[in-house]
Chain A
Amino acid sequence: MPVISYIDAVTMAIREEMERDSQVFVLGEDVGKKGGVFKATHGLYDQFGEHRVIDTPLAESAIAGVGVGAAMYGMRPIAEMQFADFIMPAINQIISEAAKVRYRSNNDWSCPMVIRAPYGGGVHGALYHSQSVEAIFANQPGLKIVMPSTPYDVKGLLKAAIRDDDPVLFFEHKRAYRLIKGEVPADDYVLPIGKADVKRQGEDITVITYGLCVHFALQAAEKLASDGISAHVLDLRTVYPLDKEAIVEAASKTGKVLLITEDTKEGSIIGEVAAIIAENCLFDLDAPIMRLAGPDIPAMPYAPTMEKYFMVNPDKVEKAMRELAEY
């Protein structure tokens, strides 16, 4: 099976879906001739032409809103926000429109679109090129939010998102783009949106996380294994709506749960995960639910000292896992 990078899996998924369905198209800033600032749409402009890989004016609300219109017509737009941090001008279109089209029309209209955006820090991106924005959208029924961790999941979930009949926010960790490589089948497959995935089986502690932090947890789990501590790692993959069954199962399995997000702590995705565990697993828990997250400051600073302080990393994860194991 070929080994490819996380970002190449993005491109591969889009290309395959555009080849499969003439109603799929891409729009965004710099997505065409340049192939995207990260090259996520590299080669698509040459293959499919400027009418299906559209360089739009620099205006995020129009990128989202034009996508909503095309989706209501029956097309399957893939809109790119250049950075998740720049999605803010499009929030009205995403929350007031895309999320509510089906509901408000009593199922008469629908909005099958994907909005892709690179998120996450550790790339010297400072306040406005590092944010995790998922929590803003994670209490908006009508939306789905997918945040894959591996190239295999990227391809299968992005293809599923494009085929989904409802709007999907697809957040890609920008540091994972070239850092994370993995085996990806060349053939067509989709993975279910809304399903978490056990990335490592373990008996002593459970780590529940998503995105780049999955890799930090897996690295730490290897180290812990040599000390006889067995860690179970659940990758949420879809952070909204959450896979409650998988969360309850993973938490109950070991009774000790560490929740990790790169986002700032208060009001983050893992707070909801903690609530699900608290509601369902009280008598299975052997330790208080532990959370590891970014500090509650507006965003990640630029200077390397402060950026490192903000970011979750393998050392912080390992420390937290050992602490939990010893509880």
Chain B
Amino acid sequence: MVKNRHEDLGLSNEKVIEIYKTMLMARRIDERMWLLNRSGKIPFVISCQGQEAAQVGAAFALDNTKDYVLPYYRDVGVVLTFGMTAKDLMLSGFAKAEDPNSAGRQMPGHFGQRSNRIVTGSSPVTTQVPHAVGIALAGKMNQEDLVAFVTFGEGSSNQGDFHEGANFAGVHKLPVIFMCENNKYAISVPIEKQLACENVSDRAIGYGMPGVTVDGNDPLAVYQAVKEAADRGRRGEGPTLVETISYRLTPHSSDDDDRSYRAPSEVAEAKTQDPIITFGAYLKETGVMDDALEKELNDQVMAIVNEATDYAESAPYADAESALQYVYAEK
């Protein structure tokens, strides 16, 4: 038997099964999107595959009844944990009117749902980082007990908005968790051409906050790091930079062919560390999940994904003229 690590973190068996199921849901939704894209039914997909453990492990360490999340475009696992559903995501994939993110205005991966405090985002990378700082500032001014959790890739950690936002949060000791999901590639450019330092977390010292690097394939390690960061934030001790190391298992997006810049053997090697497989193995080795439960969870997830796909595919688009709505507040 492998050592049970989740009990030490205060996570029950039910909770880790929930984490696993959410990771699985993110993966299966993503895989379905690719099938829909390759069969010509949706124009675009951008993936979470390989990063589900980081996303779900982190989001489970937050309070999804009061914290704010500012996800980047791969964060299916984060938004699922904060209350978005498979149906919502499929409606976004098909760009249908009922899509809660944008009613079909934005590409998939541009999350936003106010009722769940999932903050609307755009395509220019890293702009969400100062927004998280602003939300944390507003929460502090209103004496609200909230943490703002913002994610971005390692490429984005070069953008001015990362540095400006991190510095602002550090100066004002704001409860922000900056989580860099380092998947080793910014589209085609590998990490050694992105960073002059070894780790993204090395950058934390410049902004007066702790920086930690954890295994992004291990949801428990990420949970622990983000939990500590959230606790620090709630105690008024300021922001934390968490870097999760994983690997992007798909091309950048449905419009990218990664064979031109990385070897298939490298991808194959990374797939042996696929968090869905490794965390599933952990759950079995600790006796939390058996083959029957694994199959049951898979069946449940697939039933939800199938139903969501069918629903979204047959749902109506927004009326063409609705493009004119909501440029400004409408009284």
Chain A: CB-nearest residue to B331: A165
Verify if A72 is at the interface (C-beta below 8 Å from B): yes
Q: Which of A51, A107, A108 has most chain B Cβ within 10 Å? A: A108
Q: Which residues of B pack against A, CB within 8 Å?
A: 68, 100-103, 105-106, 110, 112-114, 119-120, 122-124, 127, 129-139, 141-142, 148, 160-161, 164-165, 167-168, 171-172, 325-330
How many angstroms between the C-alpha atoms of A68 and B128 in the bound complex?
Answer: 9
How many angstroms between the C-alpha atoms of A109 and B122 in the bound complex?
Answer: 13
Contacts of B120 in A (CB 8 A): 72, 101, 104-105, 108-109
Query: A54 → chain B, closest Cβ, in Å?
Result: 8
Contacts of B165 in A (CB 8 A): 62, 65-66
Query: B133 → chain A, closest Cβ, in Å?
Result: 5
Contacts of A32 in B (CB 8 A): none
Q: Are A65 and B164 in contact (CB under 8 A)?
A: yes
Q: Are A61 and B161 in contact (CB under 8 A)?
A: yes
Partner of B122, one of A56, A71, A73, A104: A104
A57-76 vs B, Cβ < 8 Å mask (1 yes, 0 no):
10101101111111111110
Q: Are B102 and A104 in contact (CB under 8 A)?
A: yes
Chain A: CB-nearest residue to B144: A73
Contacts of B142 in A (CB 8 A): 75
Q: Are A109 and B168 in contact (CB under 8 A)?
A: no
A to B CB contacts below 8 Å, 20 in the list? A57-B168, A59-B164, A59-B168, A62-B164, A65-B133, A66-B133, A68-B130, A68-B134, A70-B138, A92-B124, A97-B127, A97-B131, A103-B327, A104-B110, A105-B101, A105-B112, A106-B325, A109-B120, A110-B329, A142-B327
**6 closest A-B pairs by CB:** A69-B134, A65-B130, A69-B131, A62-B164, A106-B103, A73-B138
Known contacts A61-B130, A65-B127, A68-B134, A102 near B164 by CB under 8 Å: no
Verify if A141 is at the interface (C-beta below 8 Å from B): yes
Query: A109 → chain B, closest Cβ, in Å?
Result: 5
Known contacts A57-B171, A97-B127, A106 near B326 by CB under 8 Å: yes
Q: Are B137 and A69 in contact (CB under 8 A)?
A: yes
Contacts of B129 in A (CB 8 A): 65
Verify if A52 is at the interface (C-beta below 8 Å from B): yes
How many angstroms between the C-alpha atoms of A166 and B110 in the bound complex?
Answer: 21
Partner of B119, one of A59, A65, A72, A75: A72
Q: Which of A64, A104, A106 has most chain B Cβ within 10 Å? A: A106
How many angstroms between the C-alpha atoms of A72 and B139 in the bound complex?
Answer: 12
Q: Are A57 and B164 in contact (CB under 8 A)?
A: yes
Query: B140 → chain A, closest Cβ, in Å?
Result: 8
Q: Are A106 and B102 in contact (CB under 8 A)?
A: yes
Contacts of A74 in B (CB 8 A): 138
Partner of A56, one of B139, B168, B327, B329: B168
Verify if A267 is at the interface (C-beta below 8 Å from B): no
Verify if A310 is at the interface (C-beta below 8 Å from B): no
Partner of B137, one of A59, A70, A93, A102: A70
Q: Are A100 and B141 in contact (CB under 8 A)?
A: no
Q: Which of A69, A73, A106, A108 has most chain B Cβ within 10 Å? A: A69
Verify if A89 is at the interface (C-beta below 8 Å from B): yes
Contacts of A70 in B (CB 8 A): 134-135, 137-138
Chain A: CB-nearest residue to B163: A59
Q: Are A106 and B105 in contact (CB under 8 A)?
A: yes
Query: A89 → chain B, closest Cβ, in Å?
Result: 7
How many angstroms between the C-alpha atoms of A131 and B137 in the bound complex?
Answer: 32
Query: A142 → chain B, closest Cβ, in Å?
Result: 6
A68-98 vs B, Cβ < 8 Å mask (1 yes, 0 no):
1111111101000000000001001100110
Query: B64 → chain A, closest Cβ, in Å?
Result: 17
With A69-B138, A96-B127, A166-B329 given, name 13 new contacts (CB 8 A).
Answer: A25-B141, A59-B168, A62-B164, A65-B129, A65-B130, A69-B148, A73-B135, A73-B138, A92-B124, A102-B326, A109-B114, A109-B119, A166-B328
Chain A: CB-nearest residue to B330: A107
Chain A: CB-nearest residue to B68: A73
Q: Are A69 and B133 in contact (CB under 8 A)?
A: yes
